[in-house]
A and B are shown apart, each in its own frame.
Chain A
Amino acid sequence: MSALSFGAGLTLRFPSPSPGKSDPEDVVTEEAGIRTSAGQTVRVTPLVQEEELVAQGAPVACLRDHPGMRFVAPMPGRVARIDLRPGRKLSQIVLFCEAGGDVLTHDAAGAESESGLRALMQKAGLWPWLRRRPFGGMPDSDERPAAIVVMAADTRPFAPDPRRALEGREEAFIRGLDALGVLTEGPVLVCSAPGPALLDRSLGKGRIREVECGPRHPQGLPGFRIHDLVPAKIETPVWDAHAEDVAALGELLSSGILPMRRLVSVAGAALREGRLVRTQPGADLRGLTNRFVMPGSHVVMSGSALDGHEAHWLAPRHRQVTVLPRAPARRTPHWLVSALTRSALPKPVIPTAALAQAFGAALPAAPFVRALSSGDSEAAIKLGLLSLLEEDVALADYVLGGEAQLAELLRGMLERIRTEFAA
């Protein structure tokens, strides 16, 4: 199967106006929301009051069971609303932008040691930009990963090119990589799209090195790279981070300020023109799209057309905004028709070449899908379930016409495995 994986994956063509060739525009939206990634819940203690003025990078909330882990303001502003769900679970903290506010500078002095670096990353609000596998979500404060995979490639449709985000920040990127090398004893792997090398040589005594990944989706997803290079297991978690965030870590270490700009592409069929902007994490999606949307009902999503979700604020790790025309509400079918046809869901999946390519020919797709839909977690783990998250099966879900519900099945199985192993 590995011999056939050359050129594996699919080339997806969705309609969208092109973003043009101009340089990315700096946009700070008037509002921003601090939120968690979809499906993640964290219990927080707010550190500010509503109406309070905060500097950029100032903590606005911390984890309840780990006060050192902070969520920070992505821009200088005024706290507008703090919404917590029952159990002090973070729903959203909304900030209004106040131009000309302060920027908080951290003391990066103690960051040579591992504990100092962890404390700095958690204090500066960079920790939520990391993600662990298996199970997803941000890593525990003291977890040591078996490897860290840094994604300098992204094959999602309309994803901004991480190389562009790294332009002029090469030194900071290298510094960030060195710092990540402190957090793990295993390798730090930089996955890059075909092109000039990002690292001249391997760093950190060969532990930090570059690997190339293919140009087609889903080859540039961290899940498949981890599956291929360093499979995650329950006792050996693997982290992944975006290259731009690693460069931000490098800048945090040199200047004490965590840069709050990320390269975000705005695309989709309901736009008049595509955009490439540098904006803050948690940016207001309406603020980014307002003047560029075609008239008519539309859906604004954080993330790509495949794995995104309708949202108000840009999710912590997302670098894409997709605007699609809202599909007209379907007429509910006659109850007899529903009773006769919709009860046998999810529909069976026929193994075709399309399915194999939707998994990048990286794993036996049909047995994996069968294991998922029959709830056979043992077989699924053998085939590499623990390295994957919902976003990795989003392409397969799309290709199969949305009836296989692989993302839900995968999440359900991961949760079941987590509770089994926690017990």
Chain B
Amino acid sequence: MMRGLWDRETVALMLLAAYLPLAALWVWFGGTDAVLRFGMAALVLVFWNLVFMLARAQPPSLAALVTALAIAMLAPEDLGAFRLALGISFGVVMGELVFGGWGRNVVNPATVALSFLGFGFPSFPWPDFVDPVAWAAIPTALIGIATGAMPAAVIAGALLVAVGATGIGLLPETALAAAGIVLVLLACDPVTSATTGLGRVLNGALYSGLVTLFAAGWTGAAPVQIAVAAALLTSLAAPVLDEAALALWVAKRRRRHGRN
């Protein structure tokens, strides 16, 4: 009879709105090159979404644009069209579309694509970000939290550990910019991050913890590479964190009520 707003496409639109400041500044400083990379990524994603719509009747989602932005911003540079297309295809098909499209995936397609490109073509340099772009992650996170499309607890957990690690000197400042951008682009994906309150805090904390660990022990790795690897491992761990949080919640309730 009456309908609310928060269906899948509204959430995708809210995410796009949140990423606008980040994307705008990145395009401002990246110029035509950035636009071309984004266009390329979007084209490949649209192609695969169309294929899956025709073959499996999976309605495409605007969230593909979010994926395109993340890949265009974070993918290694100078790959050339073919390698980039290969990486994106692997990421979006194996990471998202075979599971039934956005909302049913277990890992973020952008994370899969970026990891694939990073492992597959290790000789290409990872991108660097100028400071204004990194600062734009803050308004992005704020818009995401205000609209409820991004999990606030993930960001809170990540900040908590990051502040602590920076305070005792474990997390170098060079890694912070990339870690922040990857946090909002990949780790805060509402679908593949943890979904319970405690699970989300742990999820964010684990992300920051892994970034700290890699920054300390992974010699020769670029900041973006570190952050993407941390995001991949975190999203793989998210179901376990959720399961733990749920078990705790159920146990607490059982203690309180003597039943479920």
Contact = CB atoms under 8 A, between A and B. Distances in A.
Interface of A: 1, 4, 14, 230-231, 233, 236, 299, 301, 305-306, 308, 324, 327, 339-341, 343-344, 347-355, 364-367, 381-384, 386, 398-403
Contact of A382 (B104, B190, B245, B250): B250
Contacts of A344: 57-59, 100-101
Contacts, number: 115
11 contacts: A231-B253, A344-B57, A344-B100, A348-B100, A348-B104, A350-B103, A350-B190, A353-B149, A354-B4, A366-B195, A383-B250
B6 A401 contact: yes
A367 B6 contact: no
A347 B7 contact: yes
Given A305-B2, A351-B191, A352-B6, A340 B53 contact: yes
What secondary structure prevails in chain B residues at the interface with A? loop
A367 B196 contact: yes
A343 B100 CA distance: 12
Given A354-B6, A401-B10, A348 B101 contact: yes
Contact of A350 (B8, B57, B257, B259): B8
Contact of B191 (A324, A350, A400, A403): A350
A236 B101 CA distance: 41
B260 to A, nearest CB: 5
A384 B148 contact: no
Contacts of B152: 353
B259 A352 contact: no
B255 interface: no
A327 B1 CA distance: 8
Given A340-B53, A382-B250, A348 B8 contact: yes
Contact of B259 (A231, A308, A355, A398): A231
Contacts of A402: 3-4
A231 to B, nearest CB: 5
B148 A353 contact: yes
B39 interface: no
User: Which 8 A/B pairs are nearest by Cβ-Cβ distance?
Assistant: A348-B103, A353-B148, A401-B7, A366-B195, A399-B4, A343-B57, A341-B59, A350-B11
Contact of A231 (B8, B190, B196, B257): B257
B5 interface: yes
B260 A382 contact: yes
Contacts of A301: 1
B54 interface: yes
Contacts of B54: 340
B79 to A, nearest CB: 31
Contact of B7 (A14, A233, A341, A403): A403
A183 B198 CA distance: 40
B103 A349 contact: yes
A403 B57 CA distance: 17
B11 A352 contact: yes
Contacts of A230: 257
B197 interface: yes
A244 to B, nearest CB: 26
B48 to A, nearest CB: 15
A169 B210 CA distance: 63
Contacts of A384: 253, 260
A186 B146 CA distance: 43
Interface in B53-104: 53-54, 57-59, 100-104
Nearest to B243: A367
Contacts of B8: 347-350, 403
Interface in B147-173: 148-149, 151-152
Interface string B116-134: 0000000000000000000
Given A1-B198, A352-B6, A353-B149, 6 more contacts: A1-B197, A341-B57, A343-B57, A364-B196, A383-B246, A386-B260
A233 B103 contact: no
B195 A351 contact: yes
A398 to B, nearest CB: 5
A400 B4 contact: yes
B6 A324 contact: no
B190 to A, nearest CB: 5
A367 to B, nearest CB: 6
B218 interface: no
A299 B245 CA distance: 44
A348 B8 CA distance: 7
Contacts of A355: 6
B249 A305 contact: no
Contacts of B2: 14, 305-306, 324, 398
A236 to B, nearest CB: 7
B208 to A, nearest CB: 21
Contacts of A365: 195
Contacts of A341: 53, 57, 59
A233 B259 contact: yes
Nearest to B148: A353
A42 B41 CA distance: 59
A86 to B, nearest CB: 29
A364 B198 CA distance: 10
Contacts of A399: 4-6
Contacts of B53: 340-341
Contact of A352 (B102, B190, B197, B249): B190
Interface in B27-62: 53-54, 57-59
Nearest to A4: B197
Contacts of B10: 401
Given A352-B148, A401-B7, A367 B260 contact: no
B43 to A, nearest CB: 20
Contacts of B191: 348, 350-351
Nearest to A343: B57
Contacts of B197: 1, 4, 364
Contacts of A306: 2
A365 B242 CA distance: 12
A289 B11 CA distance: 38
Contacts of A403: 7-8
A96 B18 CA distance: 60
